[in-house]
Chain A
Amino acid sequence: MTGERVISAKGLAKRYDAFEAVKGIDFEVRSGEVFGLLGSNGAGKSSTMRMIGCVSRPTSGELRVLGMDPVKDGSRIRGRIGVCPQFDNLDPDLTVRENLYAYSRFFGIPRAKGRRRADELLEFFEIADKAHGKVAAMSGGMKRRLTIARALINNPEIVLLDEPTTGLDPQARHLVWERLHQLKRQGITLILTTHYMDEAEQLCDRLVIMRSGRFVAEGSPASLIRTYTQPEVVELRFASDDLRALAEKVDDLGRVEVLPDRLLIYTDRGNDVAARVRDRALGPSSVLVRRSGLEDAFLALTGRDAR
């Protein structure tokens, strides 16, 4: 939270006909921060991103991006930000390199500089060997890298990444993360939405959890874990199916959650609780003590039910 304020929103809302996607949110993002928007599908993350990206008009509330008003100065703001949308919209009519070059023209970058920048980015994202092929010939991971490369063509001050690694295999995800870390080190402000808690934990300085168009929690990954869950989790598996009955026998040890295949006990003394469970001779088939993660905090806040 050291840099100047680059985005601020007050009472920001977005309604599509009868559906209220975003119901009045307040936030600030400072330059150099990595700010995450977490939430289930339909929580309002993408709508928020589209308003910041000046492609969707706020229904009400106040929004400033780089000190300007997205409704009046949309084109100017868009010139200084980069957008990696949730669904790839790479140009199938163009080659990989032309995808970047055509974009440089949209930003009004001079031809020679645009070509140079396109080549730099192809190298940076390790897709230079695909430069003259069509987009359709690329793997999902490569397309994603190209989309992020395209978002950087104008040396943006802010980059919006809407689910940057959804659908990628582990190798491809790690490669994207490495590159995003490098951008962070360069001081670029990153705003990202994700479903992956490990991604948010790794990348975000600060994040908010959205639910039904509202923020339900806000803070650093560590502070959210501290606030909304215990530091450790004891996972118990049993041969028996009657987990509810078993839960009652351990519910004095901490907050107990019953899952279809196991019990979770949230605690600040995991090993201690594990030992006490063993003392009770309930015969668990396995006992695992692990540290709580952001996923535990997220599920505590938004519930486990799939909507």
Chain B
Amino acid sequence: MTTLAPSPSRVRAITSRNISALRSGPEYWVTVLSGVFEPLMYMLAMGVGLGSLMTSGHWTVDGKEVSYLQYIAPAMLASAAMSGAVSETLIHFFFKLRYQHTFEGMLATPIRPVDIVAGELLWALIRSAAYIAVFLAVIATLGVTTPARALVVFPAGFLVSFAFGALGMVVATRLRGPQDFDAVVVGQLALFLFSGAFAPLSRYPEPLHTLAALLPLYHGVELVRGTAFGHLSLALAGHAAYLLALGVGCLTWTARRIELGDD
């Protein structure tokens, strides 16, 4: 059953439901806005504040020297892309699945599990795309990147959203209850801190170095940073392939799990 492709009109119907939810009151906006402010604040606090104390010469992308603000800005963008997607597909998805029974209602209509997975992921990507756009506008204004570079960074950030959106759904279907959100928060923080956002992974001792290199956000950070300041390389293609494979794998798994949810 999961081999069936999602129906575009049903995916649109799910998006239209989410837009209605966004328009129906201020509650949703609080979540949406806080998601983009967090990484922006980190970027300003660390990049501008702490960055002014950093000696130059340590921060390079593809051998090219950059400022500390430039070094962490793409990583913060990758993190915003991650948290935007995960907030939808992990937290909202979980509540819709377990508490609001939103999907149960949808599944009594022609909507199929594969349509829900595609529709919710699309919505997560729309939200993430807005985060990425805001981020790019801010860092272009700060002179961290140029508008031309921003056009290349955008799809890189989008791929990060895709991978994490799909991964979020897998986690959402495995959560036992809201008590597990604490673990999710710590997990997300660990990714944020140890994915080479603030310092190169080579500065970490083993086995932390190897372990961090396996984490999905590391590949997201490297991909976004590389597209922001470096040049196209095989390494970048490798990071992109990792994220793509992760996303596709997680999607397939989730659609299958919802399909069999009843039995």
Interface residues of A in 84-134 (CB under 8 A from B): 85, 87, 89-95, 98, 101-103, 105-108, 134
**Which of A76, A105, A108 makes the CB contact (< 8 A) with B17?**
A105
Task: Count residues of chain A with CB under 8 A from any CB of chain B.
Answer: 31
CB distance from B231 to the nearest CB of A (A): 45
Chain B residue at smallest Cβ distance from A103: B109
At the interface, yes or no: B106 with Cβ under 8 Å from chain A? yes
CB distance from A194 to the nearest CB of B (A): 19
In the docked arrangement, what's the CA distance between A94 and B105, Å? 13
CB pair B263 A134 closer than 8 Å: no
Query: Which of B20-28, B55-63, B71-79 lies at the binding interface?
Result: B20-28
Chain A residue at smallest Cβ distance from B99: A92
Query: Which of A50-58, A184-192, A214-222 lies at the binding interface?
Result: A50-58
Q: Which residues of B contact A16 (CB under 8 A)?
A: 263
Q: How many A-B residue pairs have CB under 8 A?
A: 80
CB pair A89 B13 closer than 8 Å: no
Q: Which residues of B contact A42 (CB under 8 A)?
A: none
Q: Which residues of A contact B13 (CB under 8 A)?
A: 102, 105-106, 108
CB pair B24 A93 closer than 8 Å: yes
CB pair B20 A108 closer than 8 Å: no
Q: How would residues 85 to 106 of chain B score, 1 for a CB under 8 Å from any chain A CB and 0 otherwise?
A: 0000000000000001110111
Known: A57-B263, A102-B13. A93 touches B21 (CB 8 A): yes
Q: Which residues of B contact A83 (CB under 8 A)?
A: 108
* Residue among A16, A89, A102 with max Cβ neighbours from chain B (10 Å): A102
**Which of A50, A79, A92 makes the CB contact (< 8 A) with B110?**
A79
**Which of B12, B14, B24 makes the CB contact (< 8 A) with A134?**
B24
CB distance from A95 to the nearest CB of B (A): 6
Q: Which residues of B contact A55 (CB under 8 A)?
A: 104, 107-108, 262
CB pair A107 B100 closer than 8 Å: no
Known: A91-B100, A93-B28, A93-B100. A85 touches B20 (CB 8 A): no
Chain A residue at smallest Cβ distance from B28: A93
Known: A89-B101, A105-B16. A98 touches B110 (CB 8 A): no
Known: A87-B101, A89-B105, A106-B13. A57 touches B262 (CB 8 A): yes
Q: Which residues of B contact A60 (CB under 8 A)?
A: none
In the docked arrangement, what's the CA distance between A90 and B21, Å? 13
A-B contact pairs, 9 of them (CB 8 A): A53-B108, A55-B104, A55-B262, A89-B100, A91-B17, A105-B12, A106-B10, A106-B17, A108-B9
